[in-house]
Structure 1
Amino acid sequence: MSVKETIQVDESQKGEPGVQEVITPIPVGNQIIKKATYWRSILQDDLNPEVTDGVSTVRFAVPAMVDEEYETEEMNEDGTKQIGIRQILDLKWYEADLGAENVARLQEAVKPFVAGARESEAPISKPARKKRAAK
């Protein structure tokens, strides 16, 4: 997340998206009083930092070759199978904070691929068959 600045806002904005409550302990005599303040992070476009209006976080995946561990047919001295590493095609997930203009540019760039694609359900977290390390 690209945060241009964080500004303090009034308590009346505490339930709005992007507003976080910060509890500050204040010593008063022998007691500690906790005071709540509210802060909003102003996002900036990751590609154009001057843009802060209408910026939203976009999540997308890109195909990438990654290392996958697998059990080989060869055996270790203790009788367990040896582990090998092979390259497989998988998805690598990204997030970018983009203003409306750059969201439109991203949509335009993937348009030919979307045109030839099938719609799919959102990804569901699934246990990996083997431990994968991005390369």
Structure 2
Amino acid sequence: MTVKETIQVDESQKGEPGVQEVITPIPVGNQIVKKATYWRSILQDDLNPEVTDGVTTVKFAVPAMVDEEYETGETNEDGTKEIGIRQVLDLKWYEADLGAENLVKLQESVKSFVGIARESEAPAAKPARKKRAAK
């Protein structure tokens, strides 16, 4: 998340999205009084930092080659199975803070791929890669 600035807001905004309560202990004589203040983080577009209105955090996955460990079928001197590394196609997840204009640009850039794709459920959690035997 790219935060341009954090500004203090009135208590009337405390329930709004993006507003956080901060409790500050203030010494008053021999007592400590806790004072609540409210702060809002102003997001900026990662591609155009001047844009702060309507900025949304967008998560997306891109196919990428990643390293995968596998059992080579060979044995190490100590008797353990030898492990090799190979490149496999996987998804890498990203997130970016985008204003309305750049969000449309992202959507337009993948439009032809989305148009021919089948809808799919997002994985609940990425499963750990299994070690595979040599092929």
Q: Over residues 55-103 of structure 1, what are the superposed CA-to-partner deviations in whole Å (9 max), with x where a residue is unaligned?
A: 1101111111111112221223443212211101111111111111111
Which aligned runs of 4 or more in structure 1 are off by greater than 4 angstroms?
Answer: none
The answer to whether structure 1 residue 115 and structure 2 residue 115 are counterparts is yes
Match of 2:57 in 1: 57
Letter aligned with residue 69 of structure 1: E
Q: Distance in 1 between matches of 2:63 and 2:98?
A: 21
SS in 2 for 1:124: coil
1:27 counterpart = 2:27: yes
Matched letter for residue 117 of structure 1: A
* Deviations 1:27-55 (CA, angstroms, capped at 9, x unpaired): 22333322221100011111111111111
Q: Which runs of 5+ in 1 are unaligned?
A: none
1:71 aligns with 2:66: no
When the two chains are superposed, the root-mean-square deviation of aligned CA atoms in Å is 1.6
In structure 1, how many angstroms separate the alpha carbons of the residues matched to 2:29 and 2:84? 64
What is the one-letter code of the residue matched to 1:45? D
Q: Does 1:42 align with 2:47?
A: no
> How many residues align structurally?
131
User: Are 1:16 and 2:19 matched, yes or no?
Assistant: no
Shift of the 31–74 alpha-carbon distance from structure 1 to 2, 3 Å rule, reads farther
Check whether the contact 2:68–2:129 (CA below 8 A) recurs between aligned residues.
no
2:106 is matched with which residue? 106
Seen in structure 2, the aligned counterparts of structure 1 residues 123 and 68 have a Cα distance that, compared at 3 Å, is: same
- Gaps of at least 5 residues in structure 2 are none
Determine the C-alpha separation between the residues in 2 that align with 1:24 and 1:130: 48
Q: d(CA) in 1 for partners of 2:92 and 2:86? A: 17
- For residues 47 and 26 of structure 1, the distance between their equivalents in structure 2, rounded to whole angstroms, comes to 40
Per the normalisation by structure 1, the TM-score is: 0.88
CA distance in 2, matches of 1:29, 1:84: 67
Q: What TM-score, normalized by structure 2, do the two folds share?
A: 0.88
Q: Distance in 2 between matches of 1:34 and 1:28?
A: 10
Task: State the one-letter code of the partner of 2:45.
Answer: D
**Identical columns (%):** 87
